[in-house]
Amino acid sequence: MSSPEDELEEIFRRINELRRRIESFVEEAVRRSLEGTRRQAVEALRPLWSSEGVLEPLYSVRDTGREYVVYVDLPYANEGTIDVKFIGNEMVIEARLKSEVAINGWHKRYQETKFHSYRAVVKLPVAPDPRRVRIRVRKGVIQVVIPKD
Amino acid sequence: MQKVYREEWIGEFRFIEYEDYSPARPSYMIIALPDAGLVSVIAASHMIKKLGMEEVGGVDSYTYLPPVIVVHKGNVRPPVRIFTRDNLLLIYTEFLPASAAIPALVNSLLDYGARKGIDNLVCMTGIPIPNRFEVDKLRSFYVPSNPDVDRVARGLGIEPFENGFLVGPYAILFKEALRRRMNAVMFLTESFMEFPDPEASAKNLTLLSRFVGVEIDVKELLEQAELIRLRAREHMKRVMPNLAQMRKEYEYAPPLYT
């Protein structure tokens, strides 16, 4: 038989444990939220080109129910050089441009930069089986169809 | 530094004119705002070059427009720019304000147009289709504000846009044009939502050209389409969050009641 003092102590112990768990949960939620906001801000401020001459293409991922369909816009890419690889649930797309494109035609600020290729790493909702993926290219847009099952 | 001829506040927007100008009659105001596939902005940019339109003014707001100046050939310009030639007045911006700011901007632009004696409003934009990747022959549609405009637009050989949703800056613009009982037409050409689409821009320009009776050659636009798409990637990326915020994806949905 425990004394009333022991019971009271047990209640306080449980309350303290619960408080510790709530604090830990809130801290984790706040940390994740801040990290998400930071990532969004970094992503929004990131340019789609690098000074090494690589352009990042625009892309979108659609869920059509039975498949995921990825569209990647690769204007002015040499279609014969388009290379698509799958590493886990990432799709890596690379292609060379038809010829080097210099931004100095657009703006003197970038006069040293010449672009020669595209590269994008697209995170996919699943790790696809590369043998079942279908790829088509039309007018500089690439369509990658990934079956879900 | 650009000389300012006249300055006027309309609502929260400062309209600046660099010189005295008034469009010839019948006058057409064309408003180019970033939207699906940047179709209107790409078209307007080509039109400025091809017609040699003169930059005669601009619009600014510290409240409603992004904190931006555009430097063009060494001249400082506000984010919304005004070009003209003969009977055409073109409002051009590559920056889409937050959706809450669009009604205020649209109202001020239409007030300005009224003060300039504008007779007709022309909007031309993209209507996104999910199978754009597969489509070679883009279809165009129009929305008229009244039967007179309907008659003229019908003569262009395109169909009226009979059922569907229009979302975004042009929806607000057109609603306001209707409320003001303006002569207005909106040309809609099938396009990508998330990728710049100069082909759709060229199609819209061909329609505009016939509607206003001014020749606008789109050969160069089509020839340069790939490089324009490459160059417009950054803009498209910046515009997409605004379009998503406006629930632009509703345009893909067929209405339940037709």
Tally of domains in chain B: 1
Task: Assess if residue B218 is contained within a domain.
Answer: yes
Task: Assess if residue B257 is contained within a domain.
Answer: no
Task: Assess if residue B40 is contained within a domain.
Answer: yes
According to the model, what pLDDT value does residue A102 have?
83
Q: Write the CATH number for B242.
A: 3.40.50.10900
Task: Assess if residue B175 is contained within a domain.
Answer: yes
Map residue B181 onto helix, strand or coil.
Answer: coil
Distance CA A98, CA A96 (A): 7
User: What is the value of ipTM here, to two decimals?
Assistant: 0.89
Residue B241 predicted with pLDDT over 90: no
pLDDT tens column, B54-76:
999 999 999 999 898 998 888 89
* Single-letter amino acid, residue A73: D
| Contact pairs from chain A to chain B, CB under 8 Å | 44
Characterize B132-153 residue by residue with b for buried, 16 or more Cβ atoms within 10 angstroms of its Cβ, and e for exposed.
Answer: bbeeeebebbbbbbeeebeeeb
Which architecture does CATH list for A54-147? Sandwich (2.60)
Distance CA B36, CA B229 (A): 13
Structure tokens at B208: 């505009």
| Residue percentage of chain B with pLDDT more than 70 | 99
CA distance A84 to chain B (A): 18
Task: Assess if residue B231 is contained within a domain.
Answer: yes
Task: Assess if residue B215 is contained within a domain.
Answer: yes
- Nearest Cα residue to B21 out of B77, B76, B84: B84
Task: Assess if residue B1 is contained within a domain.
Answer: no
CB contact under 8 Å between B195 and A106, yes or no, is no
According to the model, what pLDDT value does residue B257 have?
77
pLDDT tens column, A10-63:
999 999 999 999 999 999 999 999 988 888 777 777 788 887 889 999 999 999
Mutate to test the interface with A, among B132, B137, B233, B243 (most CBs of A within 10 A): B233
CA atoms within 13 A on the CB side of B61: 20
Distance CA B59, CA B112 (A): 10
Task: Assess if residue B150 is contained within a domain.
Answer: yes
CA atoms within 13 A on the CB side of A136: 8
**Domain residue limits at B22:** 6-252
